[in-house]
Amino acid sequence: MRHGISLFSSDRGITPAALAIVAEDRGFDTLYVPEHTHIPVRRDAAHPGTGDETLPDDRYLRTLDPWVALATAAAVTSRIRLSTAVALPVESDPITLAKTIATLDHLSGGRVTIGAGFGWNTDELVDHGVPPARRRAVLREYVEAMRALWTQDEASYAGEFVTFGASWAWPKPVQPHIPLIIGAGAGPKTFAWIAENADGWMTTPREEDVPTKVAQLYEAWAAAGRHGTPEVHVLVTKRPEAEDFEIWSEAGVTELMWPVPDKSEAEVIAYVDRLADRIRIRHNTATGPRPQRV
């Protein structure tokens, strides 16, 4: 299994670029950052963790733009993948977002993975003109339209929510296919959407019995006629026991996501060092051995 570092990036604490340097040096595979364009003061949407309109903390109000944050990380690293956990594509214009992501993939040498959500904060979606009841359909069209722009010399798209005529758009991503991992609660509807439109699933902080749910994802994947197997990225929310690694591996988990605190640079570096030692990821140096992972 691979190992990623997840930072709830804000305008406080360690910067994504500083963390990316440390994470890459310690042998981690991916850096994840979140997205919220804004948080409406008056809200009706219940937070999945609190169960009502209250938020767990004020970082939701202070998140950095994920693509700018990842660009700063790309500029100071050479190997670590650059991902979101999760981005909200439907809150951006799909044409300009396609350009942003393609540019980041181009400049980073093909290191982008999109971790996307449907959007639990429906008040936030409404401010962007997205009808909450149709947010899955909107995301599907955004994904299809962006893929057209990334892969076609003269791209066009005609849908209910996205429409544009034949257009030129470069740069194209370095990767022939930018991976799309959906972060959402497990269930038949989510897994069917992933099997039809995405490359894998990212667990939520409240997910339990991951092996059973991964098996359900595999069933949906096969039912959709997909070849290969889906990516499964598990957000680690408690200190795992040794047997948990074996359970995850046997279930088909491909990457573990380890959250780190948004504290000072010194505090986070010390935290990452302890984490790397605990899960036996060795330092990755230019002349040293390849990282050894569980």
d(CA 246, CA 243): 5
Residue type at position 246:
E
Q: Where are the domains of the chain?
A: 2-278
Fold for the domain defined by 2-278: TIM Barrel (3.20.20)
Concatenated DSSP letters for 234-290?
EE--SPPPHHHHHHHHHHT--EEEEEE----HHHHHHHHHHHHHHTTPPP--SSSPP
Q: Which of 119, 131, 4 is nearest to 60 (CA)?
A: 119
Q: What pLDDT does residue 280 have?
A: 84
- What backbone phi and psi angles, to 5 degrees, belong to 117? -120, 165
Q: What pLDDT does residue 282 have?
A: 52
Which residues contact residue 282 at a Cβ distance below 8 angstroms, ignoring those fewer than 6 apart? 27, 276, 288, 289, 291, 292
pLDDT beneath 70: ranges in the chain: 282-294
Residue 63 φ/ψ region, left for φ over 0, alpha for ψ in the -120 to 50 degree band, beta for the rest: beta
In contact, 284 and 30? CB cutoff 8 Å = no
Q: What pLDDT does residue 281 have?
A: 75
pTM above 0.85, yes or no: yes
3-state SS class at 160: coil
Token pair for 208:
């339990």
In contact, 39 and 94? CB cutoff 8 Å = no
